[in-house]
Homo-oligomer: A and B are copies of this chain.
Amino acid sequence: MVGVRQFDEDDVIATALDVFWRKGLHDATMQDLAAATGVQRGSLYNAYGDKEAIFLRAFDQYAAQFLESAGNALAHRDTTTALRNFFDMIIVNMTDGSPARGCLTTRTALDAGISSAAVRQRVQDVLGRLEQLIGETLGATPGGRRAADAYRLARVIVTFTRGLAVMERAGYSRKQLKESGATFVDAVVGA
């Protein structure tokens, strides 16, 4: 290696994630990324190819961290506690920052101008793995549900979390989201 890269790639991706999280893939421009990272547009093109490539790296990092947090939150013997933790985590994740950043996965799923198969696939992967995690949690309950029921319910829970992300964008406060989350958990699992 000669003529060495002037910036730390991990830093750039982490900063890019923040930009994409706030603006969305479509609305974040290369100029935004250049300004936020302090790396010139040309260098970014040279290093990564194009905006989508940067997004994919950032999203992968986000997804890994997100799924790990979800897994941790769900790691409780008591299903109700596990789900409460999980919802707390989800809601904090989307209401964090000022102004709040919302949920990147949901924003990306709704981003109109995305035809990229790679991006769609990532979104589906995150949701699928989340479903899996929750399904395992529900099925593993001592004297728990039948597997089919657990996974059907897991999908309902994932769907509800997506709904929370939309409500956050619509202007509902963290407190309101938490109340809905609690009501949901009581209604669905507590019963």
Minimum CB distance partner of A27 in chain B: B112
Interface size on A, residues (CB 8 A): 41
Q: In the complex, are the beta carbons of B110 and A183 less than 8 A apart?
A: no
The residue that A187 contacts in the complex, of B167, B171, B179, B188, with Cβ under 8 A, is B188
A24: Cβ under 8 A from any B Cβ: yes
Select which of B27, B169, B183 is within 8 A of A109 by beta carbon.
B169
* CB-defined contacts of A183 to chain B, threshold 8 Å: 152-153, 155-156
Asked if B153 and A187 sit within 8 Å, CB to CB, the answer is: yes
Query: Cβ of A161: which chain B residues have Cβ within 8 Å of it?
Result: 163
Tell me, rounded to whole Å, the shortest Cβ–Cβ distance linking A128 to chain B: 9
Known contacts A159-B164, A162-B162, A183-B152; decide if A170 and B112 are in contact (CB<8 Å).
Answer: no
Q: Is A133 an interface residue (CB 8 A)?
A: no
A191: chain B residues at CB < 8 Å are 187, 191
Complex interface: chain B residues within 8 A of A134 (CB): none
Instruction: Please classify the interface of chain A as helix (H, G, I), strand (E, B), loop, or mixed, using the class held by over half of its residues.
Output: helix
CA distance A166 to B109 in the complex (A): 7
CA of A27 to CA of B25 in the docked complex: distance in angstroms? 13
5 contacts between A and B (CB under 8 A): A26-B27, A111-B112, A152-B180, A155-B176, A158-B163
How far in angstroms is the closest Cβ of chain B from A145?
Answer: 11
Q: Which residues of B contact A165 (CB under 8 A)?
A: 166
7 A-B pairs with least C-beta separation: A163-B163, A162-B166, A159-B163, A24-B112, A110-B110, A162-B163, A191-B191
Asked if residues B124 and A171 are in contact (CB atoms below 8 Å), the reply is: yes
| B170 and A27 contact, CB distance less than 8 A | no
Q: Which of A112, A155, A183, A187 has the most CB of B within 10 A?
A: A112
A66 within 8 A of B: no
Which residue of chain B is the closest to A113 with respect to CB atoms? B27
